[in-house]
Structure 1
Amino acid sequence: MTTPISDDPIDIIEQEAAAVAHCFGVQAADDFAKSLVHRLTFLLDGERVHFTPRRRAFSRARRDEIRAAFTGRNFAELARRFGVSVRYVRKIVNG
């Protein structure tokens, strides 16, 4: 992940789009990013957009996955696999 040059969300989206395009071998990654940002601003037409923090957006799916993988004794293994504490795994599986 790159360090954004500015705090402007549009600039950040443009930078990240260029980085992703570059990773996938797009020849004109900067042009692609500018075009994407232009298209998004046109399509959204002044709408406010809220991005849910990634942690919250994936937390329900992750909790469900942890519950499904729980065998009754694998607290530590699930904690390592999901990058959380054993205490957090216990909290999830015990409700």
Structure 2
Amino acid sequence: MQWIEVCKEEALAEGEFVIVENDDGDEVLVARAEGELRAVVNACSHDGRGFEGGCIEAGLLICPRHGSRFCLRSGKVLTPPAYSDIETFEVKAEAGLILVQA
């Protein structure tokens, strides 16, 4: 896995997320939640589609289609209809940039 540049640190506000693609074409969602940077795969484990149009509440990523909630820290699914956790990734801020290892 390699470190991928996401955006400038000041470009990602609390409760927002951006989506980046790694060299394999997989999408990673990078968020700022509860003052911390978090990264998860951009695919709901219920239907495999991305989280575009979803939102973040209290450190949870909410799927826009069926309302499943995922912990951004652990990737753990908390509400149905999803029953499987999602993958998480290392993320950091360095020299004013946000980087994700994916």
Give TM class, smaller chain: under 0.3
Structure having the larger proportion of residues in helix = 1
Higher RCO (C-alpha 8 Å, min separation 6): 2
After TM superposition, the score normalised by the length of structure 1 is 0.22
Q: For the pair shown, which has the larger CA radius of gyration, 1 or 2?
A: 1
Structure having the larger proportion of residues in strand = 2
